[in-house]
Amino acid sequence: MKRLKLKSYVIPSISSIILLVAIFTSIINYQKSNNSNDNLENVDYVTQTILDNEIAVINENVIKIINPYTDKSVTIGKYFYDYKADAEKQEKSIIYHDNTYMQNSGVDFVSKNVFEVVSVLSGTVANVSENETLGKTVEISHNNGYVTIYQSLSEVNVKKGDTVSQGQIIGKSGTNELDKELGNHLHFEFYANGQIVDPILYLNKELSQQKTKE
């Protein structure tokens, strides 16, 4: 069989055509790639959308009970009497008055200097009284099912029926006959649903504003 022989000018022409096709194909692919990237810029990825739209959730129903004082020199002079506490702590929770030993029903905060006493929670002043044995006393009722009592005050800045805010100054520390050996101090009591409790278990703790269940 006789083979066909291509003329010399045909081969360069074919090579040029192949080259042009390759260049044209590259251009088309490049344009498609750019169009694809443009479209991706308008895509909202799930993760990114969630992060961009994420809003921090804050539980506004959580509060923190503060100390009944702001003076950093204040320390604890006597603890609340706890039947489960060790003997050493129970010994620091006994009050001796008029030849009688009594269990401390609150916490006594002491300082050499008179210090301002503040409300640990917002509430309403339920009672203000004065007694030779206990000194001046302020009782505050709170919406949380709690009642706080502040005894041994030398001054009182509120009256019965007043609405007080958390941290508001209600008086100043002082002395009384019951805890005479403590000198200048504040006797602080905490009640939850009518039951007296150890204030240390509640102070500086976050609590729900919903009324405590009995």
Q: What percent of the chain has pLDDT over 70?
A: 68
Q: Give the residue ranges of DSSP H helices in the chain.
A: 10-41, 46-53, 87-91
Domain boundaries, the chain: 1-55, 65-208
Split at pLDDT 50, 70, 90, the class of 1 is very low
165: Cα separation from own chain's centroid: 17
Q: How far is CA 2 from CA 5, 11, in A?
A: 9, 20
- pLDDT above 90: residue 45: no
Cα–Cα dist 125/26, whole Å: 85
**Residue 35 per-residue DSSP state:** H
**Residue 81 per-residue DSSP state:** P
The model's pTM is 0.68
Query: Per-residue pLDDT averaged across 112-117, rounded?
Result: 97
- pLDDT above 70: residue 179: yes
* Cβ atoms of 80 and 149 closer than 8 Å: no
Q: The domain 65-208: what is its CATH number?
A: 2.70.70.10
